[in-house]
Structure 1
């Protein structure tokens, strides 16, 4: 746990503030978000971000599952279509009836096996991208928790000051003067 205390100046007297501030540890927030998505956001006190995290993971997870289901149909269609075209298996086989997608069955019936293989490869590529998207969403969850924990201790009060002074020594050195 990181603690900080503030110095309060009151009418020329300096007094220690008895209240201590708690700032979340970025490492703990990162580890918690890596274990369970959204746990780091809850640890940081930003509970409103949890639905966003789960929406991102849910959408990418749904994308993966829907592509996986369609890929299995296309893969089965490619195998069964190859067997039917090469006359190794009759069209009324059990595997043919396992194909639920009517478009795949129609392509096999018309002898368009190249079309089924093309879509199988394309959906496989999308399936790989879906895994990547899910991993990126999970990593963004961890990074966001860490960055948010780091920025909790950042002072944004209006009492910040900025003082600009000229460095005359370096200015004189550039002008060619020697002390």
Structure 2
């Protein structure tokens, strides 16, 4: 781009970011410029991880976790970013979202998008790197242990993630 702006891809859509917006955090950009308000900001310094989104440096790369409250747009130029709004297909929830609902995983729901995106990145890695079921709890801990829930819903979040991951491991999906 000529004006110093950048291109990013958000939930599969190419987005042109104007130069004056490239120093915004991802969370600010999603909320203020794209009307994507599912990504939550709580602590604002990357500790609680409520703002977790998924990123890929190219479409076929594995999804990584990225903190939207501390990552500025210019730092992820040309990358592919996935927010909680991109998990469902139309009105059909993703398997993980459905698992969260069925397990009654959340109370207030504020931290839920961060847990969903961290777990989505984990499931993406699980598709690539097969593990034995006895290694699953350690993998879940690695991927979502840092996400904070003020309502202390950890047991139900982990149960839902475990259930979906086990189906993926057994189904080979």
Instruction: Specify the TM-score bucket, using the shorter chain as the normaliser.
Output: under 0.3
TM-score by length of 1: 0.19
The structure with the largest alpha-carbon Rg is 1
TM-score by length of 2: 0.19
**Structure with greater helix share of residues:** 1
